[in-house]
Structure 1
Amino acid sequence: MLSAAIPVSSPPAPTAGKIMLVGLGPGSQAHLTARARAAIAEADTVIGYVTYIRLVAELLEGKEIIRKSMTEELDRALEALERARQGRKVALISSGDAGVYGMAGPTFEVLFQAGWTPDAEIEVEIVPGASALNTCAALVGAPLTHDFCAISLSDLLTPWPTIARRLDAVAYADFVVALYNPKSGRRAQQIVEAQRIFLRHRRADTPVAIVKSAYRPKQHIAFTTLEHLAEADIGMLSTVLIGNSNTFVRDGLMVTPRGYANKYEVAAGERATLGGEQAGRSLSTGLAGWLETIRASGRSAAELAAEYRLPEDYVAAALTPPPGAAPS
């Protein structure tokens, strides 16, 4: 009598892994988003710079923890890929936002080099968090309510001439600027050079705020001016906010006007539109009004370029109405 065959079960298919690029915000538990907290809870493995691991230590019980040093970003990304290939759920953490000077960029570089695509088995999720630019601004007032940008002074991976050109361009263009990585033990001259470049275009009394360790136990906030920037206490944990030509500090608050004074006057608790302006419409000095003004001025492109601090070829093109346009 033949015995019945005993079925042999196949080994279970490996579970697809997941990489979650988690922004912790400034580091305080009060500012950790609900999704960031849930992503860390979901993870089997948490990878991060040692300081960032400490910020969320109470959330890591029972998880594999991989600590890396400051300059080991690619190693962190490689570790995350390896664990995800094993079917693990990985939280790769950054302070601030993972996509702003964080781990999102290096991780995608490693993934693409490994042949990963968005429809691959390994899922990648970016969990946003408040960047230092936002959190430091909230502590000092409202410095970012008009056009602004961020520049890192770290020349570990970016040539200094590139950084210097960016500094010069934004200083000339009157942006509010957040300087990341402004100074370290080995990089003390970069902030001096940045100050020198800005002073070519900005007044010496331009307001500057320096925030160190925002929302952490050793938080420190200081106000100074562009003239005295290089003398201030600045380190790797500092973010430097440089105001534009309209930024002011009053009663311990740094404020950049949005521009309402160009259109409205507020008196006795009521708002009135200034003469020649219309609510909900571009300023009289907006694009249409400016084109009309320069075309009717009879002045040369060179003269107008000098007045408005614009490239002469751009002004020359603006002086010529497009074909079919009504004469001004």
Structure 2
Amino acid sequence: MTTSQQNEETRVVHLPKVSVCIPTYNGARYIEAAIESVLAQDYCSFEIVIVDNCSTDATKTIVFGYLSRNDKIRFFENAENIGLTANFNRCLDYAQGQYIKYLCVDDVLLPGCLQQMASELDVHPDVSLVCGGRLSIDDTGRSFGQRRYSERPGVFPGHSVITRCLYGGNFIGEPTAVMFRKSDAHSRFRTTLPQLMDMDMWFHLLEQGALSNIGAPVCAVRFHNMQMTHKNIESGKLIEDNISLFNEFSKKPYLLTTPWLKIRHRLMMTYRVWISRQFLEPTSRQNALGEYGIVPLYYLMPIVSGLVRLTRKIQSMY
């Protein structure tokens, strides 16, 4: 056996089980906390794949400080800014692990995250996607809520999960909240869906298998004013993506729809149009409401939203 063959064999043997992928653009403010949350995990077989999308801040300097003292981290730079979604796909291309764990640069993993999620894929060959609960944190790291697919941990049929999320919203969670097998990622994140590229990917994975839900929080997802969601609302992509995804998947023969789910979807679409109202052309707004929403409810939304805010204020007093 030649020296190059020996080196290749050694490389294959020591490939990590999990690739933690951190796509970043100007993430200097958060990337140290993200990296540290991975290095603190009690699971050993992982790599950290960081792909920088032409940052203009100190991101590269911070990462280089880690590269000099930790061989689990691999760093790549794009020659040009290819956009958020394409950078997610670039991470997937570089990943060497069997399992893919995304970590958005402004989020953090909680202790035990990798161990819990990888164990679900190890134990359940029929599971194509694992999700966990996630804490909601503000820009300072303060927790102000918790979200999850279900309080009940366990395995859920993929087609029923798609149905629930298509008609109700992304209960599965953001990229930081999931793990999946690289071999199941036959499709990629769609660059034409900047707002719902994650839910579209989860649906394609769930067409192949089941969802394993970990009820307890496994990560913390940060909310701040610079997130893409705000830009997507202002550009109208929130509505466009919802319509596009619904038109594609609502025709699937495996969906388990009910009258209530259809009504719920119209309620949700009415709310989405309302929060995007100042950024939509009148014709686009009316078309979206007429086909997917409830027109009378739209004009009542100022009253409804006011009651919701009042209820939350009263609840916070007790």
TM-score normalised by length of structure 1: 0.33
Q: Relative contact order (alpha carbons < 8 A, sep ≥ 6): 1 or 2 greater?
A: 2
Higher helix share: 2
Larger of the two Rg values belongs to structure: 1
